[in-house]
């Protein structure tokens, strides 16, 4: 089975801290994604990557950056955490670079981040 | 622009009854795919069912079926014989044709389903 692992299930940080959210997939998938989930807003795409060292902005990239140095690992970075970044963060991966319409995403269990 | 709309923030259903979760979408792509995911309280998103825009028949996966009405741009999820374990958040999602590697999956706002004994 495909496994997408997020390093922390719950995380509490202080305003202004630099925060790293780590995600690892074990199925050699080309694409990796970071979503943010908020009540009433659903899932919104922050950043995604379709290759090592490649990244693309999603719909809400402001205040975030990403790193993909190895194929299996995709990190989300909050340079200076703010209270409005308190949210559930979901990492996902998908197999191919072609982006077929029927290609589903495989998700991790999420990281609930609280910024105080 | 592509958009997914789920108008039901929350629903109740009695155990063993069927329930329909609504989803409408908007896209100008000639070909697209529609997905439903389940998110239990554990947080993980679980893929349930997929419907392609050119599929002739409605998709079914066990107790899940997708009522696809292309002209109305709706892709409702039907869960038959609800079980307590079906209590979860349900998300409708869509991917269009264009964009290649950058072809994104966009999600609706979700419907929280509570199954009552």
Query: Using one digit for the tens of pLDDT, what is the confidence trace for B34-89?
Result: 999 999 998 889 999 999 999 989 999 999 999 999 999 999 999 999 999 999 99
What's the alpha-carbon Rg for chain B, to the nearest Å? 14
Contacts of B102 in chain A (CB under 8 A): 48, 50, 56, 99
Q: Residue B116: is it exposed, middle or buried by C-beta count within 10 angstroms (0-12/13-18/19+)? A: exposed
pLDDT band at A43 (very low <50, low <70, confident <90, very high): very high
Alpha carbons A43 and A48: distance in angstroms, whole number: 14
Cα Dmax for chain A: 40
pLDDT at B96 over 90: no
Question: Whose CA is closest to A31, among A60, A65, A59, A71?
Answer: A71
Cβ-contact B33, A102 below 8 angstroms: yes
CA distances from A35 to A91, B68, B77, B106, B107 (A): 6, 26, 23, 10, 10
- pLDDT tens digits, residue range A45-76? 999 998 898 899 999 999 999 999 999 999 99
Residue of B6, B8, B104, B106 best to disrupt the A interface, most CBs of A under 10 A = B104
Residue A38's pLDDT is 95
* Residue A5 near chain B (CB below 8 Å): no
Residue B29's pLDDT is 85
Tokens of B52: 């392609």
Residue A100's pLDDT is 74
Question: Whose CA is closest to A49, among A26, A27, A73, A77?
Answer: A73
Residue A2, SS3 per DSSP? coil
Alpha carbons B84 and B18: distance in angstroms, whole number: 12
Residue of B36, B42, B43 best to disrupt the A interface, most CBs of A under 10 A = B43
Q: Minimal Cα–Cα distance from B89 to chain A, Å?
A: 10
Q: Minimal Cα–Cα distance from B91 to chain A, Å?
A: 8
Q: What are phi and psi of A31, to 5 degrees?
A: -105, 140
Would you call A101 and B104 a contact, using CB atoms and an 8 Å cutoff?
A: no
The residues near B57 (Cβ < 8 Å, ≥ 6 apart) are none
Q: Minimal Cα–Cα distance from B108 to chain A, Å?
A: 6
pLDDT at A101 over 80: no
Mean predicted lDDT score pLDDT of chain A: 93
């Amino acid at each position: 089975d495909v496994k997408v692992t997020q390093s922390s299930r719950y995380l509490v940080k202080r305003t202004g801290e630099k925060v790293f959210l780590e995600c690892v997939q074990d199925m050699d998938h080309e694409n990796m994604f970071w979503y943010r989930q908020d009540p009433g807003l659903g899932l919104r795409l922050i950043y995604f990557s379709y290759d090592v060292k490649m990244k693309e902005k999603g719909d809400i990239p402001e205040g975030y950056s990403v790193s993909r140095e190895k194929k299996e690992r995709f990190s989300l970075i909050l340079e200076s955490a703010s209270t409005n970044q308190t949210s559930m963060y979901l990492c996902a991966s998908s197999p191919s670079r072609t982006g077929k319409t029927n290609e589903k995403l495989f998700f991790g269990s999420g990281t609930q981040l609280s910024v105080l | 622009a592509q958009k997914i709309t789920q108008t039901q923030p929350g629903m109740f259903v009695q155990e063993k009854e069927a329930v329909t979760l609504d989803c409408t979408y908007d896209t100008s792509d000639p070909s697209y795919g529609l997905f439903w995911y389940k998110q239990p309280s554990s947080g993980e998103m679980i893929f349930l069912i997929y419907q392609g825009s050119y599929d002739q028949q409605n998709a079914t996966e066990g107790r899940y079926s997708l009522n696809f009405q292309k002209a109305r741009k709706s892709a409702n999820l039907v869960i038959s014989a609800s079980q307590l374990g079906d209590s979860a958040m349900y998300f409708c999602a869509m991917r269009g044709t264009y964009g290649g590697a950058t072809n994104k999956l966009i999600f609706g706002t979700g419907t929280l389903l509570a199954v009552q004994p």
